[in-house]
Amino acid sequence: MGDVERALESLRRGAFVLVYDADGREEETDLAIASEFVTPASIRTLRKEAGGLICATVSGEVRARLGLPYMTDVLRRAGGMYPILNAVSTEDMKYDRHSAFSIAVNHRDTYTGVTDTDRAKTIARLAEIAKDALRRENGWAAHAFAEEFRSPGHVPLLNAAEPLLAERRGHTELTTALTIMAGLAPSATICEMMADDGRALPKEHAKAYARERNLVFLEGQDIVRAWRSWSV
C-alpha cells in the first residue's frame, strides 16, 4: 500500500496525516484531519502539537453552493468606504498568486467560539453541511449555513481553488483533494506545524514527528500525482 492510500485510510479512521506542500513554496508541513471527524481532542492536538492557525477548507463545489467569498474580494468591495482595505488587500505573497482565505465563522450554538469544544462544534457541523450540500437542491446549503453560523468567528475558512490542484497547490487544495479521494466530506481541518525557534517546523523534523507517532507524511507532489490518476 502506497503512502497516499495509507493516508486515505488514516483519514477515514479519523486520524491525522502530515502534508508538506513543496520545496520553494511555503515549505511548511500541516497537520491535517478530515473535518467530519474533528473533536475537542483534535483541536487540542492541533493547537499544542502544531501551533499554527487552525483552519477548515472548503471544496470549490461546496464554496459555490454556499456562496462563500474570498476575503480579498470582500475587502476590495468595502474599499470604497474604507480605503485602507484596498491598500491591505493586495496579494503580493512570495509563494502564491492568490490567498485561499474566506470568512471566519462560529457556530451559533457556541459561546466565545475559541474553546476546543466550540471550534470542534463549528468545524464538525461545517463538514456535515458541506456533505449535504452536494446531494441536496441548490439553495439549501446557503440557507442552512446562514441559519447555523455567524461571522466574524474563530474558524477561518479556506476556499480550495478550482480546478482542484490545476494551478494552486497549497495545503488547502492538497488536503481537500485527500478528503475527496477518501470519500469523505470535502473539507479538511489543517494547522501549520511550528518549531520552538519561532519558524516553521523543518521538513525532516516533521517526518520524525510522523514516524514517532506512526502517522503518514505526504509530499504535495505525491498528492498531485494521485489526484490526477484518481480524477481520470
CA distance 139 to 34: 25
Instruction: Please give the grid coordinates belonging to residue 86.
Output: 484596498
State the catalytic residue, choosing from 73, 95, 109, 143.
95
**Known active-site residue 111:** no
**Known active-site residue 192:** yes
**Known active-site residue 154:** yes
Query: Parallel, antiparallel, or unpaired: how do β-strands 29-34 and 149-159 relate?
Result: unpaired
State the catalytic residue, choosing from 26, 28, 36, 55.
55
**Known active-site residue 132:** no
The full 3-state SS of the chain, as one line of letters, equals: CCHHHHHHHHHHCCCCEEEECCCCCCCCEEEEEEHHHCCHHHHHHHHHHHECCCEEEECHHHHHHHCCCCHHHHHHHHCCCCHHHHHHCCCCCCCCCCCCEEEEEEECCCCCCCCHHHHHHHHHHHHHHHHHHCCCCCCHHHHHHHHHEEEEEEEEEEECCCCCCCCCCCHHHHHHHHHHHCCCCCCEEEEEEECCCCCECCHHHHHHHHHHHCCEEEEHHHHHHHHHHHHC
CA atoms within 13 A on the CB side of 210: 27
CB 203 within 8 A of CB 20: yes
State the catalytic residue, choosing from 26, 28, 30, 219.
30
State the catalytic residue, choosing from 128, 132, 154, 222.
154
State the catalytic residue, choosing from 20, 192, 209, 219.
192
State the catalytic residue, choosing from 106, 107, 116, 219.
106
Catalytic residue set:
30, 55, 95, 106, 154, 192
